[in-house]
Copies of this chain bind each other. A is one copy, B any other.
Amino acid sequence: MIAKDSLPVSIKAVAARAGVSIATVSRVINGVANKASAETIARVRKAAAELDYRPISAGRALRNRQTHMVAVLASNLANPTMTAIATSAEAALRRAGFVMVLCDTHDTADLQDEYLREMRARQAHAIVLLGAVDSAQLRAVASSDMRIVFVNRRHPLGWQSSFIGIDNAAAAVELADTCMENGYRRVAIVHASKASSATQERVDAMCARFRERGRSVSANMILTADSTDHLRIGLESGLRLSGRRAPDAVVAMSDLIAFGVHRALAEAGVATFPRIFGFDDNPLNDWIAPWLSSVRIPYSDFGPAIVDAVRDELSAGRARTRILPHTLVLREGRRDPAGTDRR
């Protein structure tokens, strides 16, 4: 086997080896019909294969003014659910011929802006905002031709835009109903910032449902904490909760929050453990959180949906909303450290 040239092989090299012009090579590579004889095609293919040629993407990008690159801007990669969605996106994008660049905005406008600008400069094919936050560039970008897809959280300003997510209100209603059917009378709600449309929708829908069924929702049963770290929010809220008369159930607006609550209650050594509900259904729950019931987001459906959205935005559709089906996963596993399950 011959050692490869250390300098990258360009279309010129292939053309020379095949004895044709670079135009012909380009056309063969791109499968342009009726522009080369079968014999020429074969010769070019052979030369390309022998040299292990692959077009440098910078040249293509310059000419075509677009790369086959999709940027995923996630608000928090420490959240396993985000990475699960990103993982699904990666696979689907690869199958569709894209590569994924993954960015963590840490839920800040500054970082999101920085990345939006960077991705514009890199001519990303599309940008997926996995948990968008309001920011200057986000507004500016609306007037450009940039393809943007919102996932989980809608546009912070409510502007019309492509969206992928679950029906948060419906899921919240299901949770409320489940609580009432199980006879839980004292239900605590723990949530992160309501700047997130998802959180807002969930909390609002739950409260509305309770009231609709004639239950009052006391304000001090709705807890939150000033942080972007869901674990911490859960922990702090859980500690505050453990100081009072115990609730029958706790509904956390994300699994991470639920983890925090659970830990707080466990460490506080509460006597009776409440039923705990979450959102997302972390892929690991079956394995390590058998005490957690959760609204499962269909991670693996997100990838394909994102690819669809990216393609749609390209053609015409613009601003389609895709609601993916969620499932309420009820788990009955041990719920407290002492093993004194109440059922």
Contact = CB atoms under 8 A, between A and B. Distances in A.
Those 9 A-B pairs whose CB atoms lie nearest each other, nearest first: A58-B61, A339-B339, A77-B87, A54-B121, A259-B287, A83-B83, A102-B102, A58-B62, A101-B101
A144 B4 contact: yes
A61 B65 CA distance: 13
23 contacts: A3-B143, A6-B144, A6-B145, A54-B117, A56-B62, A57-B61, A57-B122, A57-B123, A58-B123, A62-B62, A78-B87, A80-B284, A90-B102, A90-B103, A99-B101, A99-B118, A100-B102, A101-B101, A259-B284, A262-B287, A284-B288, A288-B288, A333-B337
A22 to B, nearest CB: 15
Contacts of A118: 54, 99
A94 interface: yes
A232 B205 CA distance: 38
B102 A56 contact: no
B284 A101 contact: no
**Chain A interface helix/strand/loop/mixed:** mixed
A111 to B, nearest CB: 8
A190 interface: no
A274 interface: no
**How many copies of the chain does the oligomer comprise?**
2
A91 B118 CA distance: 15
B337 A143 contact: no
Contacts of A338: 339
Contacts of A288: 259, 262-263, 284, 288-289
Given A77-B87, A259-B288, A262-B287, 14 more contacts: A54-B121, A56-B123, A58-B123, A78-B84, A80-B83, A83-B83, A87-B104, A90-B102, A99-B118, A99-B122, A100-B102, A259-B287, A263-B288, A288-B289
Interface size classification for chain A: 35 or more
Interface string A309-336: 0000000000000000000000001100
A19 interface: no
Interface in A41-79: 52, 54-59, 61-62, 65, 67, 69, 77-78
A284 B284 contact: yes
Contacts of A59: 62
Interface in A100-126: 100-104, 117-118, 120-123
Contacts of A122: 57-58, 99
A233 to B, nearest CB: 13
A283 interface: yes
A163 B216 CA distance: 60
A99 B90 contact: no
A140 interface: yes
